Structure 1
Amino acid sequence: MTSTTSIPSAPPFASLATRLSPLSIAALLCLALIWGLSIPITKLALESMPPMTLTALRFGIAVPILFLFALGHRRLPLRALPQVVALGLLGIGIGQVAQTFGIVGTSASVGTVISAVIPVLVVVFAALRLHQPVTGWQRIGLAAAFAGIALVASGQGDGSTAGQTTALGVLLMLISALAIAFYYVWSVELTASHGTVTVAAWSTLAGFLALLPFTGWEIAQTPFRVEPVAVAAAAYLGLLVTAAGLFLWLWLLRTVPARIAASVQFLQPLFGIAASAALFGDKMGLYFALGVVLVLLGVGLTSTTLRARKGPDCDAPPERKVVPTSG
């Protein structure tokens, strides 16, 4: 009889430590900062540039960068073009346009918090379209997130700047979050067949082209001056938030466990709220603070219970993961 000696497996923290280098930690923080500043920077640009024009300029800058990175990747077959075009119309034509108009009607901090529920809505749409089960804790997380939005949006008289927010602005931000969340879930199916970079490039082009007629009308009807701050903001949104953010996210998914990469969802609103306070003097009252806690709790419950069901080290293949291109 041959005796065998079992070798104890390394603790999970040791395995995690081997995959978290200083570079990957820096990349996580950089991505959270880039995406977290998205709404405050948009708010800053909207002081001198109308919404549709800003959105078109942003994606007009992003399109050539995305196609540059798409060189050498899989080509998009003609049969997939209608779906990819529809994806772009949903994500940009509805999601991003509604977000930009919603930012006009909300304070930067409120808009940031509302957009933070996108990961929670992804769980809902993944259950409806991809037939992924939803746990009881995830349902509680969804309820907590929307309760948080209600508190944030109703911060009248609690010392916060939520009083600057209109009901229409909140509604548009919610429509944006719904459209972008469904965009992410739908993109999982398409990127699995045609590649993430290819789908991102072609869907962004489709959304950008759809904006052009409305942008032309807005420019003709709305007098404004092209200010350097607005142009710089559009460049930031196009180059960093849309293009560089996508590729930094893809690099992180190949470098660290997906559950660690997803931690950027918690940091984004914190950076966004801090930037809103610095740029616009947004203040956090009691209702606002409680709402932020509930939203982050909702995001945490939906993502943590999903990880528990899949197991601590069971990460989906990169092409099956939801790949945000900015919130």
Structure 2
Amino acid sequence: MFFKMMGIYLRFWVLVISVTFLWGLSFSTAKIGLRSLEPFSFLWMRSLVSAITVFILIFIMQNKFSPPKITGKGSKPSFWVNIFLHNLVFLLYYNGLVYSTAGRASLFLYVQPLLYVALATLIAKEEKVGLKAVIGFVSAFAGMVFLFGDNLSSKGGSTWFGDALVILAALVWAYQSLYLKMNLVGVDAYRITAWTQLFAVIPFVLLAFIFNESLPVTVDLNVITGVGFNGIVGTGLTIILWIWLIKEFPAKRVSAFMFLCPLFGVFLGALILSEPLTLFMITGSFLIALGIYLVNKEST
């Protein structure tokens, strides 16, 4: 019995660390990809690779390829609204990442759980905000104040514009998550992911053309790293690990550890991209991570 429990405990931590590490790493790899690609070009390439990756996973699992069948009143509009919201998140995030750092972007994007709880409380009346959640919100807000008080930037200038876009992406992501939960319950996660990514390709190609974005003459290591990791690993491998995790363990228990994602994002940005770690940055990181943990822990 002891060894069985230890095995379950070890498996939980291996999966949690793997998922949060890979998601944290996606910020640095995206920043690398954006060195050689402009935002909309990066978006359509990443979406195409992501769609192909998930369709391959669907083929391996012998699932249906067709778009998920959604029933109920307003089902078709709900499907398209979800696609719009999902891709708006990435549009805002990748454009924001151009002007911000990987570390800051990871912190601001992962205030999403806090925004989700706030929206669920205000719109769906699903959440009750207790003392832990209140402390969590205060902690995260204080962390954001520290970050906004820091002039950290890989280019030596202000990152506020990029930060604002990433925070807006987090808000849209929170609303999209709530919208998905309220309108598309029970939909095949693999198929909705694959078709959402596929439907994004043409609009992003058109936006790249409208904004006169140029493609690199050769596919260099930056493109392979950014598009390859975020399209294949960030979407494919991590989705599999995430689904295994929430199938085997309570989702609320898992969500309590999502604060690790921005922490990995910050320190991997410093390690891989040599982004400076100031006292403001470290303090803000800790306060936001603590806030995410407390708000998620409130629900467990």
TM-score (norm 2): 0.86
Shift of 1:121: 1.2
> Cα deviation per residue 1:252-282 (whole Å; 9 max; x = unaligned)?
0111222332244122122212211122212
Aligned partner of 1:44 among 25, 32, 36: 32
Within 5 Å, give how 1:62-77 maps onto structure 2: 62-70=50-58, 72=63, 75-77=68-70
Shift of 1:18: 6.6
Greater C-alpha radius of gyration: 1
Task: Give the match for residue 93 of structure 2.
Answer: 99
Shift of 1:193: 3.7
**C-alpha distance in 1, partners of 2:79/2:160?**
32
Task: Give the match for residue 214 of structure 2.
Answer: 222
SS in 2 for 1:283: coil
Matched, 1:61 2:56: no
Counterpart residue type for residue 268 of structure 1 = C
**C-alpha distance in 2, partners of 1:298/1:241?**
25
Matched, 1:154 2:149: yes
Shift of 1:113: 1.3
Contact 1:37/1:272, CA 8 A, preserved across alignment = yes
Task: Give the match for residue 254 of structure 2.
Answer: 261
TM-score (norm 1): 0.79
Task: Give the match for residue 130 of structure 1.
Answer: 124
Counterpart residue type for residue 5 of structure 2 = A
Q: Which has the higher contact order (CA 8 A, sep 6+)?
A: 2
Counterpart residue type for residue 194 of structure 1 = V
Task: Give the match for residue 167 of structure 1.
Answer: 160
Counterpart residue type for residue 109 of structure 1 = G
Task: Give the match for residue 141 of structure 1.
Answer: 136
**C-alpha distance in 2, partners of 1:206/1:126?**
28
Shift of 1:21: 4.6
Aligned partner of 2:76 among 52, 69, 81: 81
The share of aligned pairs that are identical, in percent, is 21
| Superposition RMSD in Å | 2.6
**C-alpha distance in 2, partners of 1:19/1:121?**
35
Task: Give the match for residue 115 of structure 1.
Answer: 109
Contact 1:32/1:271, CA 8 A, preserved across alignment = yes
Counterpart residue type for residue 126 of structure 1 = A
**C-alpha distance in 2, partners of 1:135/1:221?**
45
Matched, 1:199 2:205: no
Shift of 1:48: 1.1
Contact 1:103/1:111, CA 8 A, preserved across alignment = yes
Contact 2:25/2:268, CA 8 A, preserved across alignment = yes
Counterpart residue type for residue 72 of structure 1 = N
Shift of 1:284: 1.8
Counterpart residue type for residue 277 of structure 1 = A
Contact 1:190/1:199, CA 8 A, preserved across alignment = no
Of 243-252 and 257-266, more deviation after overlay is shown by 257-266
Of 99-108 and 261-270, more deviation after overlay is shown by 261-270
